[in-house]
């Protein structure tokens, strides 16, 4: 069977990472979490004392001077909050990019066109050979506009914030649920309203609202859609 490129986009906490990881595992595809790249760059900016998150030029230069690598995690690892192993200039930052502070900073650096150009090019290189599930905000619209299967994953904002809040609780980062709801909404607003590559559903993306669905059920649905697309793609190819 021909391997597909699968793009999964959607707002924070819609289940992209957990679902994409299961889908990739079952299909034997490479899973790539593009958001981890924005998070890693944001972490470096935060660590780089004095590098203002608003300084477009400095952040663009920082993106050019930074090496971010996403590696698969072994299937035996069942921690749902660990997606890819993330190396920032060779250092393992897999865990340290998962804080609330880094999430907020990531959505700020992600508004800068020069930063996006650098990271989008890296994402396109990483997924160039197909057989990949990549998730983020602009995968179906900008990174892989010709992906054979595009999913736009949605869930009610309160459900998404509660999922994120639970993760922070489990990691000992104690935050008020109302704070997480406000921050998720703020990040959604910044992501959907930014000028460059805003979070928007591609016209050919399948909308999946998983407010009332678990990770397993959502992943199964996407795998069914992937098998259907594979059959369609193979039938088209055999006519050519």
Q: Using CB under 6 A as the criterion, which residues of the chain lie in contact with ligand CDP when the complex forms?
A: 10, 12-18, 34-35, 38-39, 80, 103, 106-107, 110, 136-139, 163-164, 167, 187, 191, 210, 213-215, 218
> Residue 44 or residue 163: which is nearer to ligand CDP going by CB?
163
In the complex, what is the shortest distance from the CB of residue 195 to ligand CDP, in angstroms, rounded to a whole number?
12
**Phi, psi of 151, rounded to the nearest 5 degrees:** -120, 135
In the complex, what is the shortest distance from the CB of residue 96 to ligand CDP, in angstroms, rounded to a whole number?
13
> Residue 5 or residue 218: which is nearer to ligand CDP going by CB?
218
CB atoms within 10 A of CB 109: 25
In the complex, what is the shortest distance from the CB of residue 202 to ligand CDP, in angstroms, rounded to a whole number?
13
> Residue 1 or residue 121: which is nearer to ligand CDP going by CB?
121
> Residue 100 or residue 230: which is nearer to ligand CDP going by CB?
100
Separation between Cα atoms, residue 129 and residue 146, nearest integer Å = 13
Q: Report angle CA 157, 161, 162 to the nearest 5 degrees.
A: 115
Separation between Cα atoms, residue 197 and residue 142, nearest integer Å = 7
**Phi, psi of 154, rounded to the nearest 5 degrees:** -130, 160
For 149, the token pair is: 């299967």
2 in Cβ contact with 91 (< 8 Å): no
In the complex, what is the shortest distance from the CB of residue 57 to ligand CDP, in angstroms, rounded to a whole number?
19
Q: Is 16 exposed, middle or buried (0-12, 13-18, 19+ CB in 10 A)?
A: buried
In the complex, what is the shortest distance from the CB of residue 231 to ligand CDP, in angstroms, rounded to a whole number?
26
> Residue 2 or residue 166: which is nearer to ligand CDP going by CB?
166
**Phi, psi of 83, rounded to the nearest 5 degrees:** -105, -85
Positive or negative CA dihedral for 73, 77, 80, 86? negative
> Residue 158 or residue 167: which is nearer to ligand CDP going by CB?
167
In the complex, what is the shortest distance from the CB of residue 210 to ligand CDP, in angstroms, rounded to a whole number?
4
143 in Cβ contact with 150 (< 8 Å): no
């Amino acid at each position: 069977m021909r391997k597909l490129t699968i793009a999964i986009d959607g707002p924070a906490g819609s289940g992209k990472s957990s679902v994409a990881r299961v889908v990739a595992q079952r299909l034997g595809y490479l899973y790539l979490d593009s958001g981890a790249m924005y998070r890693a760059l944001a972490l470096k900016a935060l660590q780089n004392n004095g590098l203002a998150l608003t300084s477009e030029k400095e952040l663009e230069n920082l993106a050019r001077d930074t090496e971010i690598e996403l590696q698969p995690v072994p299937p035996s690892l069942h921690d749902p909050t660990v997606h890819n192993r993330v190396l920032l200039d060779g250092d393992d930052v897999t865990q340290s990019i998962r804080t609330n502070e880094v999430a907020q900073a990531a959505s700020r650096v992600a508004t800068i066109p020069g930063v996006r150009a650098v990271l989008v090019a890296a994402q396109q290189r990483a997924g160039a050979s197909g057989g990949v599930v990549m998730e983020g905000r602009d995968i179906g619209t900008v990174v892989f506009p010709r992906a054979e299967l595009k999913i736009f994953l949605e869930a009610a904002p309160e459900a998404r914030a509660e999922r994120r809040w639970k993760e922070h609780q489990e990691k000992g980062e104690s935050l008020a649920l109302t704070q997480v709801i406000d921050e998720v909404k703020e990040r959604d607003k910044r992501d959907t309203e930014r000028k460059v590559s805003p979070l928007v559903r591609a016209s050919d993306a399948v909308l999946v609202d998983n407010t009332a669905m678990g990770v397993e059920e959502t992943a199964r649905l996407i795998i069914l859609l992937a098998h259907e697309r594979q059959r369609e793609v193979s039938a088209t190819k055999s006519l050519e």
